[in-house]
Structure 1
Amino acid sequence: MSLSLCITGRAYEITYIRMTFQSIRPESFAIYKRTSKDGAWVPLQYFSSSCESTYGHSSRELITIEDETKALCTERFSDMYPYSGGNVVFSTLEGRPSAWRADQNKALQEFMTATDIRISLDRMNTFGDEYFGDPAVLKSYFYAISDFAIGAR
């Protein structure tokens, strides 16, 4: 399942994305961007308690100055607690070595620029109920996002 937001046909520099879940947060989800209507979706950030097997990235990767625009995977925000009201915050410049001079760094400016944002909700936190295979129990799970904010300029 995914949630896509078109930002009024104009490109913006995204500074942060914040979501508040009224349901349990997903176990695995990702934030993507694109820079034109028909352009490819490019990952900005992955969130998962199983980064390696779900997205092919280690949760221990670091951003280096040579590759400041790569999407990382973090286990942060993929826990099911709290059951309601859990926030997810992504800052495009957090942890990037040249963040303090992003206005002079063309690669970081391109990394931050988007016309559309997509949140891909890839795997639910289910207390392990998928292993029991009871369809009635699995149908009781859902995603609910009560607040979605994007900071941009």
Structure 2
Amino acid sequence: MTYPIKPNLTKKIGITALLMLPIGLKAFPAANSQTNQVDGIDGAVVGTVAVQRDPFWPVGYTPERLDGKGSGEQGKALESSGKIDWNKAMKQVAIQGVSSRAGNEFFAVVNGQIKSTGETVSVQVGGVSYTWMIDGISPPSSVKLRRVSAR
């Protein structure tokens, strides 16, 4: 592939920068929030997968839950046993924050969902569904959970 060089353009940016331009475009692909899945047959794109990423994470950071690396062997061991273990299930409940509204009404972000007092939180671990009820929410990040059921 050839790129035409215009004489007045080379005076402004220099011939070196102009020759480096095609290399730079290939080295730094456009940042995209989607990745393509390729099936391996002539590089055909099967579909796109949206990458869920918090914009405030540092560059290159991926949390353990999105990686899938942290729960690999523990999840398999729990699935095979089928025992009810509230402590292991509680590790899957992530309280990301607490916020308030006028009138001392508090809300909590639990596993990415906004919850208030009286609502339930459910997690599935090893084929068993664990459910807690939110008994109380208080600042800065205190959420009181009560066990409801494990089926």
TM-score of the aligned structures, taking structure 1 as reference length: 0.24
Higher normalized helix content (fraction of residues): 2
TM-score of the aligned structures, taking structure 2 as reference length: 0.25
Higher relative contact order, chain-length normalized (CA < 8 Å, sep 6+): 1
